[in-house]
Amino acid sequence: MEKDQEIYQDLDRILVTKEEIAQKVRELGLQIGRDYAGKEPVMICILKGASIFFADLIREIPLPLTTDFMAISSYGSATKTSGVVRILKDLDKDIVGKDVIIVEDIVDTGITLSYLMKILMQRGAASLKIAALLDKPARRKVQDLHVDYVCFDIPDAFVVGYGLDYDQKYRNLPDIGILSPRIYGV
Ligand code: IMP
Ligand code: MG
């Protein structure tokens, strides 16, 4: 997609280009490949935001991994988290004794992931790690959350693209950009 397309006009600016994303995702895939050498990790995609990151990441991991999908709700269409997390779609397979990697789009307050870690921990995984595309450390509300793999730390701004949405839009932008506040009416 070219940057003169109409949806790009809703951005204040591009924060991470698709080339930068591709480079980091490749490095992360290789690192996970080294860290999990000899293992068959279960990669869990947190729908829908992580879907594009997930599709790219797993293709860079040179291991016999398996995939599963989970959908949770924490946001609705607003730009601030509600703190309420609900499972909309659970995993298809159990994870007892498995090495699990949760793949998430962005860690903001951390409420969603810390809740997810708690419930997946109780299901008897051998190990549980988190891979996040983006991290907004300035917004963290949960202090005991350790994010094992992060592609980019970003400032406190609402971003869209490469899977991340505002009101279900902008997921198809190849780059990650700061959404213009006029779009969500601030
Ligand atoms: P947390 O529970 O506050 O960490 O929220 C995490 C979820 O909020 C992510 O999985 C996203 O769905 C959403 N979110 C947080 N910040 C952004 C953003 O800047 N753009 C789009 N979605 C976001
Ligand atoms: Mg999400």
pLDDT tens column, 130-170 = 999 999 999 999 988 999 999 999 999 999 999 999 999 99
Q: Whose C-alpha lies nearest to ligand 1, atom 15? A: 108
Q: Has residue 78 got a pLDDT over 70?
A: no
Q: Whole-model pTM?
A: 0.94
* Whole-number average pLDDT of the chain: 93
- Token output for 76: 């609705």
Query: What pLDDT sits at residue 83?
Result: 63
**Cβ of residue 108 lying under 6 Å from some atom of ligand 1:** yes
Torsion of CA 125, 75, 51, 159, to 10 degrees: -120
Question: Is the Cα dihedral 5, 52, 60, 107 positive or negative?
Answer: positive
End-to-end, the C-alpha distance of the chain in Å comes to 28
Q: How many residues appear in the chain?
A: 186
**Cβ of residue 107 lying under 6 Å from some atom of ligand 1:** yes
Q: Is 108 a catalytic residue?
A: yes
164 Cα: distance to centroid of ligand 2 (angstroms) = 7
**Cβ of residue 179 lying under 6 Å from some atom of ligand 1:** no
Q: Encode 118-154: b = buried (16+ Cβ within 10 Å), e = exposed.
A: eebeeeebeebbbbbbbbbeebbeeeebebebbbbeb
Q: Has residue 13 got a pLDDT over 80?
A: yes
Helix (H) or strand (E) holding 180: none
